[in-house]
Amino acid sequence: MLEVEILNMKLKNPVLLAAGVMGSTASSLNWAARNGVGGVVTKSFSLEPNKGYPNPTTVEVQGGIINAIGLSNPGVEAFKVELGRIDEKVPTIASLYGSSPEEFSLVAKKIEDMVDALELNVSCPHAMTGCGASIGQDPDLTGEMVRAVKKTVNVPVTVKLTPNVTDIVEIALAAQEAGADGLTLINSLGPGMCIDLETARPILSNRFGGMSGPAIKPIALRCVYQAYEAVKIPIIGVGGIMDHKDAVEFLYAGACSIQVGTAVMYQGLEVFQRICNGLESFMRDKEFNRVDEMVGLAHQD
Ligand SMILES: Cc1cc2nc3c(=O)[nH]c(=O)nc-3n(C[C@H](O)[C@H](O)[C@H](O)COP(=O)(O)O)c2cc1C
């Protein structure tokens, strides 16, 4: 009942682990896979190792968390070792980032044989200069990165977009035109910040970070809804999904599968089974036989 097909992958359910949350090592990815996810997305990684920002890198605020990890990762060669240790059989999407078309395609080429699909992170709001949202806020740059990767690899490619733009549709169309096979909407929102009352200083070492969790759900939902009306490629919805009701909203808005990040930090890995169970009983109740019957229903007149 919950099976979906997306980016040439058959998923047992539409609920994936979002990038960056527990996806840094094979053991955490295996652990997620054993806990009912339909698929996993890895932490974003790059050509060279990146230390990221010093602590503190995350802070809890009302409605979610703000993080400025700075895309820390051990680099693609070390990450390949982790990918090789994944022994649980769920589809794996590798998230990657870079600062130029050459860098994106080089990283993509190095790992395409080890994963089922790639997710291009052009949308991190706290990435070092030249990476992340500075690419995803520009339709031409977004298109360049996508085109370069698509020319290099054969696996399906989804592009993760930032909500921090004036017009999400413009960027979504640029990604589609450049050959993207899917879109992932959205990366964290912001940047935002939080100030310590005792020290009168910003809490995060980077001062600013990306907001995730329930507070960003209405914005993520709106991005999915608008993109669905403009593009033909499938959309993976992410942003503030805490339970099956949130998941249903994203499906109705036009997402054909969803990712869960911050909710794992709040609820543990049980959240995946909980969302799947809730989704299944919702579907029985409403007499849906397949997930795709729900996709885009919010667009009816
Ligand atoms: C601690 C943390 C680390 C993250 N790291 C990444 C990352 O490496 N790459 C990426 O594309 N998104 C990253 N994200 C963004 C999430 O994948 C997701 O898009 C965002 O948090 C919104 O979903 P959520 O509200 O379910 O967390 C990270 C989010 C958090 C909270």
| Ligand 1 pocket: which of 161, 262, 264 to mutate (most atoms within 8 A of CB) | 262
Tens-digit pLDDT profile for residues 168-198:
999 999 999 999 999 999 999 999 999 999 9
73 bridge partner residues: 50
Output the residue whose Cα is nearest ligand 1's atom 17. Answer: 19
Per-residue model confidence as pLDDT tens for the chain (301 residues): 999 999 999 999 999 999 999 878 889 999 999 999 999 999 999 999 999 999 999 999 999 999 999 899 999 999 999 999 988 779 999 999 999 999 999 999 999 999 999 999 999 887 776 778 889 999 999 999 999 999 999 999 999 999 999 999 999 999 999 999 999 999 999 999 999 999 999 999 999 999 999 999 999 999 999 999 999 999 999 999 999 999 999 999 999 999 999 999 999 999 999 999 999 999 999 999 999 999 999 998 7
| Ligand 1 pocket: which of 44, 45, 188, 235 to mutate (most atoms within 8 A of CB) | 188
Cα 188 to ligand 1 centre (Å):
6
Give catalytic status of residue 194 as yes or no: no
What is the rounded distance in angstroms from the CA atom of residue 238 to the CA atom of residue 146? 20
CATH of the domain at 85: 3.20.20.70
Output the residue whose Cα is nearest ligand 1's atom 6. Answer: 20
Residues with beta carbon inside 6 Å of ligand 1? 18-21, 43-44, 58, 65, 67, 69, 71, 95, 121, 124, 160, 187-188, 212-213, 216, 238-241, 260-263
| Torsion angle of C-alpha atoms 235, 241, 247, 250, degrees rounded to 10 | -40
Beta strands in the chain (DSSP E): 4-6, 9-11, 15-17, 39-41, 58-61, 64-67, 92-96, 117-121, 157-161, 182-185, 189-192, 209-212, 235-238, 257-260
pTM: 0.97
What is the number of the ligand 1 atom nearest to the C-alpha of 220?
22
Cα 240 to ligand 1 centre (Å):
10
Tens-digit pLDDT profile for residues 112-150:
999 999 999 999 887 776 778 889 999 999 999 999 999
What is the number of the ligand 1 atom nearest to the C-alpha of 213?
25
Catalytic-labelled residue, pool 124, 131, 223, 256:
124
Output the residue whose Cα is nearest ligand 1's atom 20. Answer: 188
What is the number of the ligand 1 atom nearest to the C-alpha of 214?
25
The parent domain of residue 92 ranges over: 4-299
Cα 193 to ligand 1 centre (Å):
16
| Ligand 1 pocket: which of 44, 76, 104, 212 to mutate (most atoms within 8 A of CB) | 212
Give how many domains the chain has, as a whole number.
1
What is the rounded distance in angstroms from the CA atom of residue 172 to the CA atom of residue 142? 9
